[in-house]
Amino acid sequence: MAKDSEMTKLQGDSNYQAITLTNGPNSKLYKAWKNRRDAATELMMEDTTLTHVRGYEENSAGLWVHLASLYADSGVGAAVRLLREFAAVKYKGGVDDMAKVMGRIRSIADKLERNHEDRPSNNQIIAIMLNSVSGNPDFKDLITTLENSKEPLMIYDVEIALIRRARNLKDDGSAMSSGGVTGIDDGHIVSAMAANRNSMVIRCSNPKCQRVGHLIQDCFREGGYLACKVSSVS
């Protein structure tokens, strides 16, 4: 067996060349390793990152702790980064999947709540959804319709309206800037949203109650299931 002094010590890219020979360039392990290296290289070379190196030139351990506080899932730096990412989500049209774009917006909002207890409001989420398509002329009239709505907008309604518009444009074979037929009259979107919400209203069927927010089996008023249950127990 060769002595340690006779063995070639791999450094830098040699390590990656070695793992390529062992696992192949298409292996999951190699790809994961390469992605981590590329991401680390890109992160370290960003101007915003280089400015944080000042004062840590001779303290590499301290530098990594400092960078971790900025780029880890927790910390003020991470929250700022997520908010920037949240505001920058854009629908590019063409092959871009609107459902995935909407899912990305929801995912970042959930992450802000989970990691930083700072979930954007419903109006802020809706604003980001509309902003993600604001540069696309095929969505201009839909945005105007939604913005001028007298009905309160719900996240789900806006998401469905945007996904439907994107799919209609795709089904019509329209280039995303040609203003093709949408297959739905945008003027009816708001009324459809209102009707959809009204259909989901929970109303008590007890003739002596008929209030919104519960069913007859949860009603304490005379004639309701719980009222009968309480009287039988007493």
Quote the pLDDT of residue 213: 56
Quote the pLDDT of residue 50: 64
Whole-angstrom distance between the N-terminal and C-terminal Cα of the chain?
Answer: 89
| Mean pLDDT per 10-residue segment, the chain (234 residues) | 54 58 66 74 65 72 72 70 89 82 91 84 92 92 88 88 88 52 46 50 70 66 63 47
Quote the pLDDT of residue 205: 76
* Dihedrals phi, psi of 212, to nearest 5 degrees: -90, 145
Quote the pLDDT of residue 51: 66
Quote the pLDDT of residue 118: 84
Quote the pLDDT of residue 17: 61
Quote the pLDDT of residue 185: 47
Quote the pLDDT of residue 168: 86
Quote the pLDDT of residue 203: 64
